[in-house]
Amino acid sequence: MNFGMPYQGSKNKLAKDIIEQMPPAEHFYDLFGGGGAISHCAVLSGKYKYVHYNEINPLVVKGFEMAINGEFNNENRWISREEFYQLKDTDPYVAICFSFGNNLVDYLYGKDIEPIKKALYYSRVFSDDSLIEEQGRLVTLERLKRLRQLQSLDNVKRLRQLQITNISYDEIPLQSNSVIYCDIPYKNTKKYCHNEFDYDKFYEWCKGKKNLFVSEYSMPPEFIEVWSKKHKSFMSATKVADSVEKLFTLKE
């Protein structure tokens, strides 16, 4: 089963494993929600009465809300390179389905293959074979299917009960009897959407918090690794690398 929508660094394939490591509680906070895979899985797990999804990027939040509300059900636009750079900062469909690696920044296709992909798209979506030149993999359609899946789930009413916010992680008022999950930008890796992240500020903020879990490759000494799993990381449409996902919590 897929969780959430396509997004750079998505925990879709690892969501069930991660949620299994978490204790039950009244509240679950997904403070760096991204594509919503962890929030989605947390809702379906039944372990939490309230699930809070937070993401600082307003475009991603807008896309997540649109997906839940079924606003992509009739979406089928082909987006050209020119249109992408015109619309990517305001249109979630454009940014999510037509960005390379779901990074919301760069166009999905190179200039040399864009006409081929357009021809295939028109053939599959509009039954128009006039542009067909050769066969290929339609990444855009796979992503659109993921967006629509959020609306088609039997328990969509539960997803609509998510408490969604669009502020900085340290501005969220945390309730007692909570589990806090932080999927921060991984240190020494490519920044998401070119945003800088203050790691020292985050480590300081973590101090004293109970039931706090952080996904990262490594953490400072005051944290302890509680789970890890080797998996395939898709670096691009053609390159796959082995990666070890880790989960940390504060030492008692």
Is residue 106 a contact partner of residue 99, using CB atoms and an 8 Å limit? Answer: yes
Residue 1's pLDDT is 79
Residue 224 pLDDT exceeds 90: yes
2 pLDDT exceeds 60?
yes
Task: Note whether 102 and 7 are within 8 A (CB).
Answer: yes
Mean pLDDT across the chain: 88
Output the DSSP codes for 181-226: EE-PPPTTSPPGGG----HHHHHHHHTT-SSEEEEES---TTEEEE
pLDDT at 3 over 70: yes
Whether 162 contacts 51, CB under 8 Å:
yes
Q: Which two tokens stand for residue 140?
A: 């855009």
pLDDT in tens, 78-91: 999 999 999 999 99
Q: Domains in the chain and their CATH numbers?
A: 15-68+154-250 (3.40.50.150), 81-147 (no CATH)
